């Protein structure tokens, strides 16, 4: 059986560790458990040392966010499979076994996401990941079980083991060798969408990401930045643009990116006219940083041959115009 490391990134999250470490400890027999601490100023580290001596603590030198926080910590983690788990996640009995089994059976699968349900409403999917992620042609992410703000009840409609485009960073399994081959997360992102960028880079190298419905976890979500926080809006829009510059297929970069910027402009105008000036500014600054860092990210491009990376041409059109509020396996690449 493959060795597995559960790595929980923490920053000033003593309360979350108190609440959620018990489930990880109870249901993760055989796994090595690490807390990677991003230089917390509360007593998170002291709490873990005092109450969970079996947990290995990795102390990063600063608050490096999700991307660099994990990159630094995982340099010293040598188990074959990494399970990157948010500190606000409750795991369930038997959550690891089907994931390990899938990795052993399907050698092409490099990344796995479990079923992610809402800790506050356990009958429903959780926003950040649900039953596996996809993007549209213009880089907008969506999930089976969650499109924009429409979140579905889990009625078993996605109880399958199927290929997806991206796996949620809330609970993200990846083979160590693939993680290191890809160079880990892009540290320029700091936080948000770095997992989609990593999955896209893996996809471009013909690795698979797979949804494993037999593994179930509950995620609080928004424990660090709430959905309505303009900082989150900025990071999501900025990082999505950077990700597209890096990963879009050759010949598609400029036409797709220009259309995406138009769509972002429409979103910004909606924020402006609804009085949400901070979110309008967040999008404006996201585009500013696209211009500032454009050549930096252009230089990160690999030989991106054309691959059909998107599930539907425009999830905005599908959702707002055609009324497609839930995931449809028959999504196609035309309007």
- Neighbouring residues of 274: CB distance < 8 A, sequence distance ≥ 6: none
Same domain, residue pair 199 and 268 = no
Total domain count for the chain?
2
**For 61-113, how does the pLDDT look when each residue is reduced to its tens digit (9 = 90+)?**
999 999 999 999 999 999 999 999 999 999 999 999 999 999 999 999 999 99
Percent of the chain, pLDDT > 90? 90
pLDDT of residue 303: 77
Same domain, residue pair 66 and 158 = yes
pLDDT of residue 290: 97
> 174, 189, 219: which is the final residue of a domain?
219
> 188, 219, 250: which is the final residue of a domain?
219
Confidence of residue 335 (pLDDT cuts 50, 70, 90): very low
Same domain, residue pair 155 and 60 = yes
Same domain, residue pair 168 and 148 = yes
pLDDT of residue 313: 93
Q: Write phi, then psi, for 304 (nearest 5 degrees).
A: -85, 90
Q: Has residue 225 got a pLDDT over 60? A: no
Same domain, residue pair 209 and 246 = no
Average confidence (pLDDT) over 282-291: 97
Same domain, residue pair 78 and 184 = yes
pTM reported for the whole predicted model: 0.95
Confidence of residue 334 (pLDDT cuts 50, 70, 90): very low
Q: What residue numbers bound the domain in which 148 lies?
A: 4-219
pLDDT of residue 333: 54
pLDDT of residue 227: 61
**For 179-222, how does the pLDDT look when each residue is reduced to its tens digit (9 = 90+)?**
999 999 999 998 899 999 999 999 999 999 999 999 999 999 86
Run of H or E including 288: helix 277-298
Same domain, residue pair 54 and 193 = yes
Same domain, residue pair 206 and 248 = no
322, part of any domain: no
pLDDT of residue 224: 55
325, part of any domain: no
**For 238-277, how does the pLDDT look when each residue is reduced to its tens digit (9 = 90+)?**
999 999 999 999 889 999 999 999 999 999 999 999 999 9
Same domain, residue pair 126 and 180 = yes
Domain of 23, CATH number, reads 3.90.550.10
CA distance 209 to 102: 11
pLDDT of residue 251: 87
Q: Has residue 1 got a pLDDT over 60? A: yes
- Neighbouring residues of 237: CB distance < 8 A, sequence distance ≥ 6: 264, 282, 283, 286, 287
Reduce the DSSP state of residue 61 to 3 states and report it: coil
- Neighbouring residues of 154: CB distance < 8 A, sequence distance ≥ 6: 115, 117, 123, 124, 125, 145
Same domain, residue pair 183 and 259 = no
Packing angle between helix 253-273 and helix 277-298, nearest 10 degrees? 160
Q: Write phi, then psi, for 195 (nearest 5 degrees).
A: -70, -35
Q: Has residue 223 got a pLDDT over 70? A: no
**For 148-157, how does the pLDDT look when each residue is reduced to its tens digit (9 = 90+)?**
999 999 999 9
pLDDT of residue 222: 67
């Amino acid at each position: 059986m493959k060795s597995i490391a559960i790595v929980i990134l923490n920053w000033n999250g003593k309360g979350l560790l108190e609440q959620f470490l018990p489930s990880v400890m109870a249901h993760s027999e055989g796994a090595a458990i690490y807390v990677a601490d991003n230089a917390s100023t509360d007593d998170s580290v002291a709490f873990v040392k005092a109450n969970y001596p079996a947990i290995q603590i990795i102390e990063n030198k600063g608050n490096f966010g999700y991307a660099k926080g994990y990159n630094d910590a995982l340099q010293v983690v040598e188990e074959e499979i990494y399970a990157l788990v948010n500190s606000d996640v409750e795991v369930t009995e038997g959550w690891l076994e089907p994931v390990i089994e899938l990795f052993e059976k399907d050698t092409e699968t490099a990344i796995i996401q479990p079923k992610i349900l809402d800790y506050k409403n356990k009958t429903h999917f959780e926003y950040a990941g649900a039953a596996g992620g996809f993007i549209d042609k213009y880089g907008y992410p969506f999930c089976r079980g969650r499109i924009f703000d429409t979140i579905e009840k889990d009625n078993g409609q996605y109880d399958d083991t199927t290929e997806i485009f991206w796996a949620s960073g809330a609970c993200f399994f990846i083979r160590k060798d693939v993680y290191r081959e890809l160079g880990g997360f892009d540290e320029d992102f700091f936080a948000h969408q770095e997992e989609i960028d990593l999955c896209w880079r893996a996809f471009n190298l013909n690795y698979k990401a797979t949804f494993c419905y037999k593994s179930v976890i509950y995620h609080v979500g928004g424990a660090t930045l709430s959905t309505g926080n303009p900082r989150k809006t900025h990071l999501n829009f900025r990082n999505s643009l950077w990700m597209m510059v890096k990963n879009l297929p050759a010949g598609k970069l400029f036409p797709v990116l220009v259309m995406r910027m138009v769509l972002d402009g429409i979103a910004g105008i909606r924020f402006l006219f609804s009085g949400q000036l901070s979110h309008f500014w967040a999008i404006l600054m996201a585009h500013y940083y696209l211009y500032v860092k454009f050549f930096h990210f252009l230089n990160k491009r690999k030989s991106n041959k054309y691959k059909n990376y998107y599930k539907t041409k425009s999830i905005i059109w599908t959702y707002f115009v055609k009324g497609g509020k839930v995931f449809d396996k028959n999504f196609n690449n035309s309007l």
